[in-house]
Amino acid sequence: MSESAWLEAVSRLWPEAEVSRSPRGRRPGPAAGDGVQEFVYLPDARRARLLLPLGAPRAAGTALRRYSHDLGVKARLGRGLLSAAVRTGLPQRFLPDRVHVRAPGGESVQHRLSEILGRRVVVSVSIGNARANRKPVLQAITPAGESLAFVKVGDTDVARDLIRAETAALEELSVLRPPGIRVPRVIHHEDWRGLELLVMSALPTGVRRWRPSGAVPVAAMSGLSAVAAEVRPLAGSPFLDRLRRVPAQVGDPAAAVRLDGLLDHLAERYGDLDLRFGAWHGDWTPWNMAWRRDLVNLWDWERFARDAPAGFDLLHYTLQQVRPTTSWTADLVWSDGVLAALEPFGVGGRAARATLALYLTELYARYVIAGQGSIGEPLRPQADALLDLLDRSRSRM
């Protein structure tokens, strides 16, 4: 991620401020709330993954104490040690790359979040990889180091739509209450200064709440699917009807024609097949969850849907860890091991092949839409590779 992208993001979050790169060697500025604030890039501006607030070392330390299921023991211990060191305030003095924010009397997202949460907060800032759905994600933390909320910021049309979808999903899930899963609570949702803000409760994670990386939350996935369970033929299902609308949204005419042909093939081959449909998270991976006793803390619900073939979450969880999508092969994807992953859902034989083919098509539809426009360019190779894979795999479907 370029440094200019970070500076642009901070400028949108502090719309009335002067935002600039701080000179190397500059000592930390005043604490947040004095009109001037500094953030430090971690690990540095060239490889930045996070902006930590200077002047609030306990908050900065808390921002690093975020553990997901994909972190191994060494990574967890390393992050815990770094968090403890950052809380002393000393490491920030030796990290040279900083962002300087000068906003005397100006409104900022930090001030707005303090109003919403009823307590003074500072924020850490992260930005995802370059793609159409990229958005800033903030952690709102008190200066004493208490994490109060996570905040997604929609600053593009695609990101705004996804945030609205996640808001609706979280509100629906608060009623459905899928067993074995803890979901963030919506604290606040609004349009602020042209930005879509979704403020969510912070789910607890910790270095001691660890399970082996091979532990897969199959029961929780099955429980989520069951909250909207329905058995029906693929033909005429809401899922297939929704996929049928995607080619009209694809800007590349050749890709739209290929996708249309693929959907015709799937409808002809499996249209009469009864499948069990249900709810799915949409992006259930080890890095979007953390165990807490027997519950799974699960975040990033912006792709939630109620109409997916049972087993989609388990396929996604399995395949996303194997290797990058661009290097998937037909032999890998259609292996007995991947198809066998669906067994806990009672899906086998023809239904398993149909479910896998539909999952890959759903994933392609997601990538081809997210890959449109200049910001989505890095995602296009993944979309192209998936479409080629689907075309090569027709005989295996």
Give the distance from CA 263 to its chain's centroid: 27
- Under a CB-based contact definition with an 8 Å cutoff, are residues 301 and 183 in contact? yes
As a whole number, mean pLDDT of residues 7-12 equals: 93
| pLDDT for the residue 33 | 47
- 34 or 266: whose pLDDT is higher? 266
If one counts every other C-beta atom within 10 angstroms of the C-beta of residue 345, the result is 23
Q: Which is the CATH superfamily of the domain at 3-201?
A: Phosphorylase Kinase; domain 1 (3.30.200.20)
Q: What angle do CA 79, 114, 100 make, to 5 degrees?
A: 65
- Under a CB-based contact definition with an 8 Å cutoff, are residues 189 and 144 in contact? no
Q: How confident is the model at residue 75 (pLDDT cuts 50, 70, 90)?
A: low
- Give the containing element (helix H, strand E) for 161: helix 157-176
Q: What angle do CA 163, 166, 172 make, to 5 degrees?
A: 145
Q: What percent of the chain has pLDDT over 70?
A: 86
- Under a CB-based contact definition with an 8 Å cutoff, are residues 200 and 151 in contact? yes
Sequence ranges of the chain with CATH classification 3.90.1200.10: 218-396
Q: How confident is the model at residue 93 (pLDDT cuts 50, 70, 90)?
A: low
Above 90 in pLDDT, residue 30?
no
Q: What is the mean pLDDT of the chain?
A: 87
Q: How confident is the model at residue 26 (pLDDT cuts 50, 70, 90)?
A: low
Sequence ranges of the chain with CATH classification 3.30.200.20: 3-201
- Under a CB-based contact definition with an 8 Å cutoff, are residues 258 and 387 in contact? yes
Is the dihedral angle over the CA atoms 227, 281, 219, 339 positive or is it negative?
positive
| pLDDT for the residue 264 | 97
CA trace torsion 352, 212, 281, 335 (10° rounding): -20
The DSSP-derived string for 274-324 is EEEEEEE-SS--GGGEEEETTEEEE---TT-EEEEETTHHHHHHHHTTTS-
pTM of the model: 0.88
Above 80 in pLDDT, residue 22?
no
Return the percent helix, strand and coil in the chain, to nearest 5: 45, 20, 35
| pLDDT for the residue 114 | 97
| pLDDT for the residue 29 | 46
pLDDT digits (tens, 9 = 90+) for 119-173: 999 999 998 766 666 789 999 999 999 999 999 999 988 889 999 999 999 999 9
Above 50 in pLDDT, residue 297?
yes
- Under a CB-based contact definition with an 8 Å cutoff, are residues 326 and 292 in contact? no
As a whole number, mean pLDDT of residues 208-212 equals: 57
For helices 380-392 and 253-270, give the axis angle rounded to 10 degrees.
40
Of 330, 303, 316, 299, the closest CA to residue 394 belongs to 330
- Give the containing element (helix H, strand E) for 50: strand 50-53
As a whole number, mean pLDDT of residues 46-60 equals: 85
| pLDDT for the residue 36 | 80
Above 50 in pLDDT, residue 192?
yes
Reply yes or no on domain 218-396 having CATH 3.90.1200.10: yes
Above 70 in pLDDT, residue 23?
no
- 61 or 84: whose pLDDT is higher? 61
As a whole number, mean pLDDT of residues 230-245 equals: 97
| pLDDT for the residue 299 | 95
